[in-house]
Amino acid sequence: MANFNWRTINIDAYDPESSLNFDITSVLPSTLPAPSTSAEAAQVGQQIRQLLRAGDALGALQSALETAPLGGDDAAKQVHLTTVLEVLQGIRQSDASRILNEMLKQPGGAALGDALMKYIYKGMASGVGGSGSGTKGTSPQGTGSGVVEGFSNTSTGFSQIQARNFGDGGGGQTMSVLLSWHEKLVELVGVGGIVRVLSDRRTV
């Protein structure tokens, strides 16, 4: 006992009011979906990309937000973030406001708007450049149809003819897209959407 350094004691560990003794799971919502893996998130991502390639921009965005792996592990959430960023980059900016309006007017649209706000902030924080990590070429440019440039309708379906460059400027391009979506979303939902995202423990 004579050699014990009392200054090294973590007194917070003995304080019942300390955050160290607070079970954070007790404040998590009970409505979290079942846990998911990165493989499941990748499979969902393929289905969403098919909608985008088929020209259903609204359906792709809704599906991406409705299938957010709130109960998934970090790997699953990262895979789905990449999918959402691809969808946002694949929609022409001039059509973004119209698509947002249609989505928010549908049942459950407010929740989808909050989910989109979460992904916008997560994308800004992570600096992810869409599909730059291994799936380069699956996230095409926006076109006049409001969906994608780089896909042509052929006898065998939609084939990619031009890929987006996720080189040195990919991160800046992604940030520009996210800022544009953020501006349009805030115009429609107001600052309340930001407050709800900051206070919601169901992270994406």
Q: Which of 103, 86, 83, 84 is nearest to 141 (CA)?
A: 86
Measured CA to CA, the distance from residue 61 to residue 75 in angstroms comes to 21
Q: Please check whether residue 58 lies inside any domain of the structure.
A: yes
Q: Please check whether residue 98 lies inside any domain of the structure.
A: yes
Confidence of residue 161 (pLDDT cuts 50, 70, 90): very low
pLDDT in tens, 166-175: 334 556 889 9
Q: Please check whether residue 175 lies inside any domain of the structure.
A: yes
Angle formed at CA 168 by CA 99 and CA 115, multiple of 5 degrees = 30
Q: To which residue do tokens 């930001």 refer? A: 194
Q: Please check whether residue 132 lies inside any domain of the structure.
A: no
Measured CA to CA, the distance from residue 28 to residue 6 in angstroms comes to 36
DSSP letter (8 states) at residue 105: H
Q: Please check whether residue 47 lies inside any domain of the structure.
A: yes
Q: Please check whether residue 194 lies inside any domain of the structure.
A: yes
Question: Does residue 70 surpass a pLDDT of 80?
Answer: yes
Q: Mean pLDDT across the stretch 178-194?
A: 95
Q: Please check whether residue 61 lies inside any domain of the structure.
A: yes
CA dihedral 172, 176, 177, 178 (to 10 degrees): 100
Of 9-18, 59-68, 85-94, 138-147, the range with the lowest mean pLDDT is 138-147
Q: Report pLDDT for 36.
A: 84
Percent of residues, the chain, with pLDDT higher than 90: 52
Task: Kindly report the backbone phi and psi dihedral angles of residue 42, in degrees, each rounded to the nearest multiple of 5, phi listed first.
Answer: -65, -40
DSSP letter (8 states) at residue 91: S
pTM: 0.68
Of 17-26, 49-58, 125-134, the range with the lowest mean pLDDT is 125-134
- What's the mean per-residue pLDDT of the chain? 78
The CATH number linked to 176 is 1.25.40.190
Higher-scoring residue by pLDDT: 95, 13: 95
pLDDT in tens, 108-140: 999 999 999 999 999 999 865 444 443 333 333
Q: Which amino acid, one-letter code, is at 2?
A: A
Q: Please check whether residue 148 lies inside any domain of the structure.
A: no
Count how many domains the chain has. 1
Structural domain that includes position 52: 36-127+169-199
Higher-scoring residue by pLDDT: 27, 103: 103
